[in-house]
Structure 1
Amino acid sequence: MLDTTQKRSLSQLPKATLVDFVSDVYGVDKLLDKKIERLLLQSDKPKLIKKLTSNLKGLRRRRKFLDYWEYSDFVTELHYLADDVMSLYPERPKACLDLLELFIDSTDSSLERVDDSYGEIGDLYRSLTSSWLKVAATCYQQEKQILPVDEQDILSHAWLEKVKAMADDNDYGTKDNLLAGIGQLFSEPEIRGLISDYQQEYEAILIKEADHKEATKGFKKRDYEVDYTISQEKSRIESALEEVAKALGDVELFEVIYREIHPKRPLHPRYLVDLIEFLMDAEAYDLALGHLTDEWQSDDLQYKLKRLELLNQIYEQQNDIEAQLKVLGEAFELQPSVRRLKAVMAIATPAQQAYWRKKSYELAAQQDEVVTAISLLLALGEVDFANKIAVKRHTEFTDLHYITLTQLLKELPAETDLLQVIIYRSLLDDILDNARTKAYGHAARYYKKLFQLDFLVSKMNRDYNDLITPQAYTRALIQKHGKKYSFWERVEN
């Protein structure tokens, strides 16, 4: 994409130069040709709308699966289409909305034609939903303005039904943001009416579920297809209720609805998190704290840490430094990390920092993972101590993944020469022991780096202690891998 300066320079070119350039590139690339054709249609909106309508209908009908090398071109084509559709807004909102709906109708077709592992196509369709809400809000307001007051309820009902139908057709999750954003489109009374509709549907599905269970009681074989259908419908309505209640922003109503959907007590932390995060977004911190202190029950480390993370966020908003330091310290003790240590030190007083430095030494010594122990010591500036721990536990480095080792190398200060020797030896041994011939170039670089490090170790008068000397390491390497000639050739070059 051109920057501002380049665009300014481009605008200063003679019109004929630009026309000649566009003429020259036309025919070079199919996607670019389509973009040029649509650009030419910008001055003729009816023709542009007709062209886009034809292209979007064709997009929905396509079925041929695309190979991975065609993915990028397809993404580009979709972006071009989206840009062209939105170019009609706000001048022609109704036409833009109709085209957006045609585009959104192609969701399933497009996602079934490609491997969207990168998520770019899913993201584009999610952005279409956001665009639809913006354009729909304009269209809805325009339609209301030309209707008598006594007919506006009929219009409102029609729009509510349209939104519900769109939200229900969401197999790939690209419309997850539709109900969450309906505040752009509907008034508070309309949203409350929509909630009421979903509540009625929910009561009906609960009755249907209870009746089915009663009818099949005592049967050895269940009708799993019916069970699945009821479960899916129930899940759909629950999700819709939650999203619409969030969009309304009524804390009390949301909590009532959430309790109806998740009646089991105590509520599992994975459900409590959703409730608490909504309360925090609504700045209902006292209610959120109540759930975090009175109701939260879990021995799972993951949820213990999540609870402390949420508490920290609340105390930070309330500017309660003392309470914040307490939960940050508790999280650090539960699962020590450099990130958590830095968070503690950032708000601690000098006296408190001294306490946490001492605590960090103790925790570093207790760590099962050598990388965590060393990272904590380095964060405290204890380079010599980190070197000693690394030497003492050097055998543990052979079990670490090369990505972990290479990432650690990037973060090490210069004085960690012994630690670097251990890491480079581990990387080198891994490549040669497993005969990773494609990585021999890296192995040769590691080998040469070891000579430089060994010189530094000697210069600093450090003792290898439990590590074998450079001379012994080199002899062992030659004895074990002396016949890996392609490696040694790279060492010589």
Structure 2
Amino acid sequence: MDERARQSTVEMALKDIADVQGDVDGFIAQYDPKTRKVPKIAAEIAQRLLAVGRAGDALGFIERAEVNEARWIPAEWQDARLGVLEALDRKDEAQAFRRACFERDLSVEHLRAYLKRLPDFEDIEAEERAMAHAAAHPGLLPALGFFLDWPSLDHAARLLLDRHEEINGDHYEFLVPAAEALSERHPLAATLALRAMIDFTLSKARSKRYGYAAQHLATCGDLAGRIENFAPVETHDAYVARLKNEHGRKSGFWSQIEG
């Protein structure tokens, strides 16, 4: 074992010993001042300080953490900050932070916690504002994921209809569950999600996905019978005709349709 690895092992052992003994200061001492400003580390320290009733000290570590608002913020740091603010009875600040976390990340958990603490009737208006905020989010897929998780299938369907040109068919991890969830009550929105995946697969010639694309097209055919008005997009028959015109030579795909 080289010296660096040995030192790391010793430090980990000392942290574990400090934890077992409830020695928060001993735990903190194993990190140099710069490392203590890493958000996840600051959160670990703050949670331990909270557990021994030192909320004021915990807040200091949280506030000194080097958090970049323009980038991803660890959930551990957000949760620790909320815990500290609540422990200090700074409830208005905690509420404002929950709302900010939701508006930044479209966090279902933070929005639920925020609404739960509002007076009766105020929560209804606040939820409506939150839905509007999510619908206007610059990222279509994060907004879609939020509406599916909330859940609000009506908002998810409206989002896909209003912003169908933005749907990135490469993200099947969002679009497959969206299509499944929406197919019963919102067949056109489900169709838009399926078409996006089909279009991406064929336009990029992703042959390994042809089988899935064929299944999606078959599902679109099943859904078409329940769609009275295809506006603002083309009908199912027109869509299939366009696919044949643009991708008719992709036999690996069409053989699975015809087979």
Under TM normalisation by the shorter chain, which class is it?
0.7 to 0.9
Partner of 1:193: none
- Cα deviation 1:354-401 (Å, max 9, x = unaligned): 132122133123301112333444566654443233122112113642
Selected match of 1:276 from 35, 40, 46: 46
Calculate the TM-score normalised by the size of structure 2.
0.77
TM score, norm. by length of structure 1? 0.44
| 1:262 maps onto 2:39 in alignment | no
Does the 8 A contact of 2:15 with 2:30 survive in 1? Answer: no
Taking the aligned partners of 2:128 and 2:243, their CA distance within structure 1 comes to 41
In the TM superposition, what is the alpha-carbon distance from 1:434 to its structure 2 partner? 2.7
Q: Which residue of 2 aligns with 1:300?
A: 69
In the alignment, what sits opposite 2:255?
489
Amino acid at match of 1:453: L
Q: 1:344: how far off?
A: 2.9
RMSD: 3.8
Are 1:330 and 2:129 counterparts?
A: no
1:442 aligns with 2:212: yes
- The reply to whether residue 357 of structure 1 matches residue 127 of structure 2 is yes
> For the residues of structure 2 that align with 1:480 and 1:374, how far apart are their CA atoms?
29
Shift of 1:330: 2.3
Structure 2: distance between partners of 1:432 and 1:387: 24
Closer, same or farther in 2 for the Cα pair 1:408/1:483, shift >3 Å? same
**Code of the aligned partner of 1:489:** S
Corresponding residue for 1:473?
239
Instruction: Give the C-alpha shift of residue 415 in structure 1.
Output: 1.6
Q: How far apart are residue 421 of structure 1 and its match? A: 0.7
Amino acid at match of 2:33: H
C-alpha change, 1:303 and 1:426, in structure 2 (3 Å) is: closer
Are the aligned partners of 1:409 and 1:420 in contact in 2 as well (CA < 8 Å)?
Answer: yes
2:55–2:84 Cα contact (<8 Å) kept: yes
User: 1:357–1:380: 8 Å Cα contact kept in structure 2?
Assistant: no
Output the CA distance in 2 between the equivalents of 1:375 and 1:263.
36
Matches within 5 A, 1:27-42: none
**Which residue, out of 44, 57, 81, partners 1:287?**
57
CA distance 1:355–1:361, shift in 2 (3 Å): same
Are positions 1:432 and 2:194 aligned together?
Answer: no
SS in 1 for 2:5: coil
Deviation at 1:346, TM superposition (A): 4.4
Query: Which residue of the partner structure matches residue 170 of structure 1?
Result: 5
Q: Contact between 2:169 and 2:198, CA under 8 Å: does it hold in 1?
A: no
Matches within 5 A, 1:128-207: 170=5, 177-182=12-17
Residue matched to 1:249: 22
Partners of 2:192 and 2:141 lie apart in 1 by 12
Offset at 1:417? 1.7
Q: Which whole-Å deviations, capped at 9, do the CAs of 1:394-424 have from their partners, x for residues lacking one?
A: 1211364233323444554732322211111
1:309 maps to what in 2? 79
Q: How many residues align?
A: 257
> After superposition, what is the alpha-carbon deviation per residue over 1:127-151, rounded to whole angstroms, capped at 9, x for unaligned?
xxxxxxxxxxxxxxxxxxxxxxxxx
- Whether contact under 8 Å (2:59, 2:81) holds in the other structure is yes
Distance 2:244 2:115 in 1: 48
Q: Which has the larger radius of gyration?
A: 1
Residues 440-449 or 342-351, more deviating: 342-351
Identity between Structure 1 and Structure 2 (%)? 21
Structure 1 pair 443/258, CA: closer, same or farther in 2 (3 Å)? Answer: closer
**Cα shift at 1:173:** 6.3
> Which residue matches 1:396?
166
Report what 2:221 is aligned to: 451
> Secondary structure of the equivalent of 2:233?
coil
CA apart distance, 1:251: 4.1
Structure 2 vs 1, CA of residues 373 and 303 (structure 1 numbering), >3 Å: closer, same or farther?
A: closer
Q: Find the aligned partners of 1:469 and 1:347 in 2 and give their Cα distance.
A: 46
1:312 and 1:327 in contact (8 A); partners too? yes
Amino acid at match of 2:5: N
Cα distance change, pair 278–391 in 1 and its aligned pair in 2 (3 A):
same
Q: How far apart, CA to CA, are the structure 1 residues paired with 2:13 and 2:26?
A: 20
- Alpha-carbon distance in structure 1 between the residues aligned to 2:150 and 2:45: 38
SS of equivalent residue, structure 1 residue 468: coil
SS in 1 for 2:232: coil
Question: For 1:287-333, what per-residue CA distance to the aligned partner results, in whole angstroms no more than 9, with x for missing partners?
Answer: 2134445x456553445976532122345678987664443222112
Give SS of 1:350's match. Answer: coil
1:283 CA drift (Å): 4.1
Cα deviation 1:79-113 (Å, max 9, x = unaligned): xxxxxxxxxxxxxxxxxxxxxxxxxxxxx7xxxxx
Classify the secondary structure of the residue corresponding to 1:398: coil
1:443 Cα offset (Å): 1.8
Q: How far did residue 273 of structure 1 move?
A: 3.5
Structure 2 alignment gaps of length 5 or more:
none
Residue segments in structure 1 that go unaligned for 5+ positions in a row: 1-107, 109-166, 183-244
Native 8 Å contact 1:321 1:347 kept in 2: no
